[in-house]
């Protein structure tokens, strides 16, 4: 996409610098003159919000690492040291711990927005897949971060998740030993998790740059899902979206700090305030909320290997989505049946979340199995069939025509 406003710096230093390294013109093209469809709604702010949360996590994380000790004998105490002794340590840690949750909230909304408006479809398949790579990296990073405080949930969560790899035929045991650096989750595990937990956010940042790059080639999708036809369909990123995003940032920070200040442990688990004990497992092992739907899928299948396969497949299936949903119409607004099933999927995933939080018995087990079956049905059967048979509503001729008609 070429920018509508050329970059013409007045400052002599900027001119000199930009001639040798066009950093300023690239930033100008990406953050100021980037042309966006003029009909983007607030759901399109969640990409910026995700970027903000990544920044918050990296900054607070670097500082927490200055006060934290990655050793089984000292990790738990060093976290308490952060909470009690370090100036504003409680704030930094609560922002970091809840920041992970809010990062996931923002990213889940971002993903579902893409699902509803067909943002994964051509010409944005690679953009979608890069986003999924970020999501997988986030899951790995958050998991390893949760191990660091070395509480009971850290230890047993790490034990359960690493044991998943033991389900792989033939090499499972060896992979598990390799992950552990021993015969159980112990000091070598904690050390390598700390190292990787520090590394992966920078990998996420790198993939996020590719994600934005891949976004700026075709330009943003929009609520109508139709292509931009010309400058009359577009507005510049600045000041229109910077202002809109700033409003959403204020809203996010308001809710975020309400949680950080008034319910900082709401999304945590009290058992993680007990130091890790390799000889006692807590009665209810529950992963962090953002893994619950996948945890439910894992437990709904009564076979160790197949459960693990289903869990990973639930995420990997999203990589094939651009080819499973063949409908030429992107936006769910013009797909009457798809739109209804989109909300069924939303309810299904939330239901899986509740199933994951509860013990796998009685009704929960049945709900979990039905919800798991629906999840795969939705992507593997419903979408391919629906995209052939569904009669879509007529698309507007252009974005500006639709926008003007709405306000006529």
Partner 1 sequence: MSTTDSTSEHHGEGVKRRDFLFIAAGGFGAVGAATVVWPLVDNLNPSADVLALSSIEVDISKVQVGQSIRVKWRGKPVFIRHRTDEEVAKAKAVDIKELKDPQTDADRTKPGHEAWLVMVGVCTHLGCIPLGEQGEFGGWFCPCHGSEYDTSGRIRKGPAPLNLEVPEYAFLNDTRVRIG
Neighbour tally for 306: CB within 10 Å: 13
Q: How far is the CB of 247 from partner 1 (least distance, A)?
A: 11
Cα gap 147→193, rounded to integer Å: 8
**φ, ψ of residue 350 in degrees (nearest 5):** -65, -40
The CB-of-67 to partner 1 minimum distance in angstroms stands at 7
Site for partner 1 in 85-104 (CB under 8 A): 85-89, 91-92
Binding range to partner 1, per CB under 8 A, among 34-42, 81-89, 204-212, 399-407: 81-89
Instruction: Write down the least CB distance from residue 85 to partner 1, Å.
Output: 4
Tell me: does residue 238 bind partner 1 (CB under 8 A): no
Out of 21, 66, 279, 363, which residue is the one contacting partner 1 (CB under 8 A)? 66
| Residue of 38, 211, 241, 244 with catalytic role | 244
Nearer residue to partner 1 within complex by CB, 81 or 192: 81
Query: Please, which residues have CB within 8 angstroms of residue 177's CB and are 6 or more apart in sequence?
Result: 183
| Residue 16 or 88 with smaller CB distance to partner 1 | 88
Calculated CA dihedral for residues 41, 44, 49, 52, nearest 10 degrees: -120
Left, alpha or beta for 118 (phi > 0: left; psi -120 to 50: alpha)?
Answer: left
Q: What is the CA radius of gyration of the chain?
A: 23
Record the tokens describing residue 223, joined without a space.
């609520």
Question: CB-wise, 78 or 141, nearer to partner 1?
Answer: 78
| Collapsed DSSP state (helix, strand, coil) of residue 344 | helix
The smaller minimum CB distance to partner 1, of residues 71 and 81, is found at 81
CA gap 132, 127 in Å, rounded: 9
Provide the H-helix boundaries in 263-303: 292-300
Q: Residue 37: beta bridge partners?
A: 234
* Rounded least distance, CB 49 to partner 1, Å: 16
Choice between 29 and 89, CB closer to partner 1: 89
Q: According to CB under 8 A, which one of 1, 7, 17, 67 is a site residue for partner 1?
A: 67
Active site residue 245: yes
**What element of type H or E holds 234?**
strand 234-236
Of the listed pieces 80-88, 99-107, 150-158, 278-286, which binds partner 1 according to CB under 8 A?
Answer: 80-88
81 near partner 1, judged by CB under 8 A: yes
Stretch that binds partner 1, among 59-67, 146-154, 342-350, 357-365 (CB under 8 A): 59-67
Query: Please, which residue, 82 or 161, has the CB nearer to partner 1?
Result: 82
Out of 14, 31, 32, 59, the only residue in the binding site for partner 1 (CB under 8 A) is: 59
220 catalytic? Reply is yes
Kindly state the tokens that stand for 108: 């889940």
Output DSSP code: residue 56. H
Shortest Å, Cβ 102 to partner 1: 16
Give the residue with the Cβ less far from partner 1, 89 or 223: 89
The catalytically annotated residue of 288, 300, 327, 400 is 288
Q: Is 303 in the site for partner 1 (CB under 8 A)?
A: no
The closest alpha carbon to 1, from 162, 252, 294, 228, belongs to 228
CA distance 11 to 194: 44
The residue from 10, 12, 84, 230 that contacts partner 1 (CB under 8 A) is 84
Catalytic choice (216, 238, 304, 339): 216
Give catalytic status of residue 244 as yes or no: yes
Task: Give the distance from CA 160 to its chain's centroid.
Answer: 22
For every residue of 120-173, DSSP letters joined together read TSTT-HHHHHHHHHHHHHHHHHHHHHHHTT-BHHHHHHHHHHHHHGGGSTTTHH
What secondary structure letter does DSSP report for 273? G
> Which of 45, 101, 220, 331 is an active site residue?
220
Active site residues: 216, 220, 244-245, 288
Chain positions contacting partner 1, by CB under 8 A = 59, 63, 66-67, 81, 84-89, 91-92
């Amino acid at each position: 996409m070429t920018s509508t406003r050329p970059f013409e710096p007045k400052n002599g230093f900027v001119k000199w610098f930009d001639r040798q390294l066009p950093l300023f013109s690239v930033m100008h093209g990406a953050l100021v003159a980037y042309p966006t469809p003029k009909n983007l709604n607030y759901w399109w702010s969640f990409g910026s919000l995700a970027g903000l949360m990544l920044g918050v996590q990296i900054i607070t994380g670097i500082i927490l690492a200055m006060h934290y000790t990655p050793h089984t004998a000292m990790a738990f105490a060093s976290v308490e040291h952060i909470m009690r002794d370090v100036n504003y340590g409680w704030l930094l840690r609560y922002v970091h711990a809840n920041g992970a949750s809010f990062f996931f909230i923002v990213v889940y909304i971002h993903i579902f927005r893409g699902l509803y408006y067909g943002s994964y479809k051509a010409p944005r398949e690679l953009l979608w897949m890069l986003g999924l790579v970020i999501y997988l990296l986030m899951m790995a990073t958050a998991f390893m971060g949760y191990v660091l405080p070395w509480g009971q949930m850290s230890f047993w969560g790490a034990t359960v998740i690493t044991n998943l790899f033991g389900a792989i035929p033939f090499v499972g045991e060896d992979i598990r030993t390799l992950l552990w650096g021993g015969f159980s989750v112990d000091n070598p595990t904690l050390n390598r998790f700390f190292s990787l937990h520090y590394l992966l956010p920078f990998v996420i940042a790198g993939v996020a740059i590719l994600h934005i790059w891949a976004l700026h080639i075709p330009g943003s999708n929009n609520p109508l899902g139709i292509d931009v036809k010309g400058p009359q369909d577009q507005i510049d990123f600045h000041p229109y979206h910077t202002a809109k995003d700033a409003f959403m940032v204020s809203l996010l920070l308001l809710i975020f700090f309400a949680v950080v200040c008034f319910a900082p442990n709401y999304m945590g688990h009290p058992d993680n305030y007990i130091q890790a004990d390799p000889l006692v497992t807590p009665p209810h092992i529950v992963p962090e909320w953002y893994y619950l739907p996948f945890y439910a899928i894992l437990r709904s299948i009564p076979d160790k290997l197949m459960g693990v396969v289903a869990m990973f497949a639930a995420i990997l299936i999203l990589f094939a989505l651009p080819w499973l949903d063949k409908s030429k119409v992107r936006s769910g607004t013009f797909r009457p049946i798809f739109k209804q099933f989109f909300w069924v999927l939303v309810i299904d995933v939330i239901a899986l979340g509740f199933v994951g939080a509860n013990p796998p018995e009685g009704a929960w087990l049945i709900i979990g199995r039905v919800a798991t079956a629906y999840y795969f049905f939705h992507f593997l059967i419903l979408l391919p069939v629906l995209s052939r048979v569904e009669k879509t509503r007529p698309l507007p001729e252009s974005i500006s025509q639709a926008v003007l008609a709405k306000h006529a």
